[in-house]
């Protein structure tokens, strides 16, 4: 099979490619929601902690699928100058859009992380995970906002993305691990047999489960 059974299958296959990082005690950061089941499998295989890194696309109001940029945790904003040049948004409209997405990011951080503090990334190897990348805008914002936290290295791990996106993001991350790079990437979902929507409850469950498993493993070692 050229694609993946589901996100869990993709995560296990990525984990096999990332096994050498276990010795670096990395932290796995998954983009919610779809990246979390993938990241969960990697975290389990590498005996690493799992957390989310929240990013929201800044969509063009009359064409929401078209991304003008993205907002990531820590108030980081990435804007695509090429898209902005062609859509004719006023500065006031753009400011309102960005502020709206910042509020969404804060709400989703609270939803997914609850009372847990944000992860400490300084001097850590960070493995950033998603279930696939179409254009790369949100991932670029995630990488740049994580870079501001001064990690040791950022490894981007995804099951599928176009060659152009992999090349572009390779200039942002320290390494990109991508299992499939189809030239004719039409949609991420066609590379999965099961690409059902991941719920907020499922994200919260996987994060809680990983925290519990990681704590139990640390206690067992101690």
Range 111-114 contact pairs with CB under 8 angstroms and sequence separation of 24 or more? 111/200, 111/204, 112/32, 112/52, 112/54, 112/200, 112/203, 112/204, 112/207, 113/51, 113/52, 113/207, 114/204
What are the structural domains of the chain? 7-55+118-221 (3.40.50.2020), 57-112 (3.30.1310)
Query: What pLDDT, on the 0 to 100 scale, is given for residue 89?
Result: 77
The distance in angstroms from the start CA to the end CA of the chain is: 42
Query: What pLDDT, on the 0 to 100 scale, is given for residue 221?
Result: 64
Give CA–CA dist 61/133, Å, rounded: 22
Give CA–CA dist 95/82, Å, rounded: 17
Task: With a cut of 90, say whether residue 54 has pLDDT above it.
Answer: yes
Query: What pLDDT, on the 0 to 100 scale, is given for residue 215?
Result: 76
Cα–Cα distances in Å, from 28 out to 3, 90, 166, 184? 23, 38, 19, 29
Tokens representing 106 are: 């804060």
Task: With a cut of 60, say whether residue 222 has pLDDT above it.
Answer: no
Query: What pLDDT, on the 0 to 100 scale, is given for residue 202?
Result: 95
Give CA–CA dist 143/158, Å, rounded: 13
Query: What pLDDT, on the 0 to 100 scale, is given for residue 1?
Result: 61
Q: Per mean pLDDT, which range of 88-97, 133-142, 166-175, 192-201 is the poorest?
A: 88-97
Query: What pLDDT, on the 0 to 100 scale, is given for residue 105?
Result: 95
pTM: 0.92
User: How buried is 111 (Cβ within 10 angstroms: 0-12 exposed, 13-18 middle, 19+ buried)?
Assistant: middle
Give CA–CA dist 145/74, Å, rounded: 7
Cα–Cα distances in Å, from 97 out to 61, 93, 175? 8, 6, 32
């Amino acid at each position: 099979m050229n694609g993946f059974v589901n996100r869990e299958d993709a995560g296990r296959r990525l984990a096999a490619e990332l096994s050498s990082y276990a010795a670096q005690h990395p932290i796995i950061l998954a983009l919610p929601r779809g990246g979390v089941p993938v990241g969960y499998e990697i975290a389990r295989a590498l005996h690493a902690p799992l957390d989310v890194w929240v990013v929201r696309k800044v969509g063009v109001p009359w064409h929401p699928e078209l991304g003008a940029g993205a907002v990531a945790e820590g108030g980081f904003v990435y804007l695509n100058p090429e898209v902005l040049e062609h859509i004719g948004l006023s500065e006031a409209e753009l400011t309102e859009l960005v502020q709206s997405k910042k509020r969404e990011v804060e709400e989703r951080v609270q939803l997914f992380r609850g009372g847990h503090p944000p992860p400490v990334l300084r001097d850590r190897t960070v493995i950033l995970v998603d279930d696939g990348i179409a254009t790369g805008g949100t991932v670029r914002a995630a990488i740049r906002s994580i870079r501001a936290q001064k990690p040791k290295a950022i490894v981007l791990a995804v099951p599928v993305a176009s060659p152009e996106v992999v090349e572009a993001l390779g200039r942002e991350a320290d390494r990109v691990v991508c299992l499939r790079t189809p030239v004719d990437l039409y949609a991420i979902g066609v590379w999965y047999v099961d690409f059902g929507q991941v719920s907020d409850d499922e994200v919260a469950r996987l994060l809680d489960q990983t925290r519990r498993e990681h704590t139990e493993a640390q206690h067992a070692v101690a």
